Chain A
């Protein structure tokens, strides 16, 4: 557990991002099993449940994420399992409840992040999700403000770029939609200097659009 007073929950982070025009899968906070089920019905199945706590940074490590829940019974069960396993892993964590969101169809996984550099201020990072970013460090950086041209260059710069153009039956990702997202994230962090770190991981990229599936914001 990383104790961070300034970590916004996924629900809070996504609300801010949505207001800034950045496409996200909206998440709603459920404080009880009953609430989780009613929100799920409202959104429509399948749904995803994740632990909501500003004390838990890595949600899936502590059993705090359940994907592909297709009915009310599964949602109710997942609610109990998530809260109990997080309580077990992190007895001191304050738990707000569980976030409920629609299960996005699979797309090409990419990530966009922002961190602050001692000399250049906010810097955006772009990469493909999963092993390519973690093991091969196949990422590109640009200093904020990032223009459309910068965004295009940072997308094309990564070695894994051909993956975005469609690969072995996987559909291509919309490069213009990715560019737009990067530029909007740049504008968002520029307008909000109190943001210390931001992570959109993963973002699902489709042939016609992109959407951030998980998001995390840390304030100064």
Chain B
């Protein structure tokens, strides 16, 4: 689907040469930073700085004008005042540039006649000159595979998650949270006012892109709702699409107007549209990243019947109760363990001090050693009453009981067990006083494709949304 988009967007995500306009050899300008960041990231193509000062920057000659660059230019990053935008588009057309990204702001988002008129003129020039525009008022493209970093040189590992964002700030957070939580992106784009290429265009490209397996989006509004709806409906048929719509309240909608010049429709109509299109709707950056993470790690849902181990050691009773509430309130089913499993757990742990239903509290295992704990977890995971297992590890409680090494052994066991049983295991690592160790454990588990969340609520919501998409796909 949308295969024709692949070739069209090749110069945007895989340019052979990039010109950066608005560079100075003497003063620090945004353009200069783009050049330095592209270079430090190891961009494999040619970089051409352009700026009236002349001179050199990071071993590159600064051309006084785009037209003076020898050879072809695929892609241009622009960071010059808006007054120069039209002239620059003439230069791009003369140079047969394929696409231009305007970092420059001060257009329709200022809600002025002047800003809107300038955008119309830019669009007209771009159409005549056969140049595509990204922005204005945005931070543009992120493509770790082709070593195109985001603003300030942020560059994570290349992966399978694609994103589009109307906001540069949200886009940057997606990337930095991604680096922290192993959410690895194939491509991303912040498209700001989106006067030419907008959410629909980039979603179509990501749907066609073979590197992208799941797509996230942050949107504030659209200029063509019908096209966005039709696009989302088609995209969601082939790949999971997770959308966070900002500006759902009056206060948010007004902010969205001045942020990206977006018109408001009611939140209810947006939600209806997203549901109708088969999109998974989320309501915050936290939910967006949680949902992208679980799709990346697990691919698709296998059901919402959850077995929960609320406690591995002391304090597991209350945690198990709370975990049960959190999961049920967020749409998961918690069937009781089978009679056989319950019997075996009783034989293993005794009746006192444990909860051997579902959620399960296996804290009595702490007095019988790790092999007993592993056996208990194994019994719960292998019980066919569940499609998925959620295990809470409270590092600050476990650390004094099992020590660092014991904790590592527990996690290696979980990784191995998940693979062996072909049943997804999710680990919940609540924040607490053992933060340094908690982070290390999180990294290890994430790298082994286990989804990790810091609360049972967030884990349950993510599991529910994963299955929401898969159920809808199956119902076709």
Contact = CB atoms under 8 A, between A and B. Distances in A.
Interface of A: 117-121, 123, 140-143, 146, 150, 153-154
Given A118-B263, A119-B263, A141 B225 contact: no
Nearest to A119: B225
A142 B275 CA distance: 9
A141 B226 contact: no
A143 B263 contact: no
B14 interface: no
A120 B245 CA distance: 15
24 contacts: A117-B265, A118-B225, A118-B265, A119-B221, A119-B225, A119-B263, A120-B225, A120-B229, A120-B265, A120-B269, A120-B273, A123-B269, A123-B272, A141-B268, A141-B269, A142-B272, A142-B276, A143-B226, A143-B229, A143-B269, A143-B273, A143-B276, A153-B275, A154-B272
A120 B221 CA distance: 11
A117 B225 contact: yes
B104 interface: no
Contacts, number: 40
Contacts of B226: 120-121, 143
A107 B147 CA distance: 65
A9 to B, nearest CB: 29
A12 B273 CA distance: 31
Interface in B224-259: 225-226, 229
B317 to A, nearest CB: 35
A154 B275 CA distance: 10
B225 A140 contact: no
Contacts of A118: 225, 263, 265
B23 to A, nearest CB: 38
Q: Which 8 A-B pairs have the closest CB atoms?
A: A119-B225, A141-B272, A120-B225, A119-B265, A143-B273, A117-B265, A142-B276, A141-B269
A121 B276 contact: no
A140 B269 CA distance: 9
Contacts of A153: 275-276
B108 interface: no
Contacts of B265: 117-120
Q: Is the interface of B mostly helix, strand, loop or mixed?
A: helix
Contacts of A140: 272
Contacts of A121: 225-226
A9 B281 CA distance: 40
B79 interface: no
A30 to B, nearest CB: 40
A136 to B, nearest CB: 13
Interface string B273-291: 1011000000000000000
A136 B269 CA distance: 17
B222 interface: yes
A186 to B, nearest CB: 11
A60 to B, nearest CB: 27
A143 B272 contact: yes
B150 to A, nearest CB: 29
A37 to B, nearest CB: 46
A108 to B, nearest CB: 22
Most-contacted residue by chain B among A121, A140, A141, A146 (CB, 10 A): A141
A202 B272 CA distance: 23
A140 B273 CA distance: 11
Contacts of B276: 142-143, 146, 150, 153
Contacts of A142: 272, 276
Most-contacted residue by chain B among A120, A142, A146 (CB, 10 A): A120
Contacts of B269: 117, 120, 123, 141, 143
A143 B273 CA distance: 6
A119 B272 CA distance: 13
A138 to B, nearest CB: 11
Contacts of A141: 268-269, 272
Contacts of A154: 272
A113 B221 CA distance: 24
A55 to B, nearest CB: 30
Interface in B450-465: none
Contacts of B225: 117-121, 143
A141 B226 CA distance: 15
A144 to B, nearest CB: 9
Given A123-B269, A123-B272, 16 more contacts: A117-B269, A118-B263, A119-B225, A119-B263, A120-B225, A120-B229, A120-B265, A120-B269, A121-B225, A121-B226, A141-B268, A142-B272, A143-B229, A150-B276, A153-B275, A154-B272
A124 B206 CA distance: 30
B446 to A, nearest CB: 35
Contacts of B263: 118-119
Contacts of A146: 276
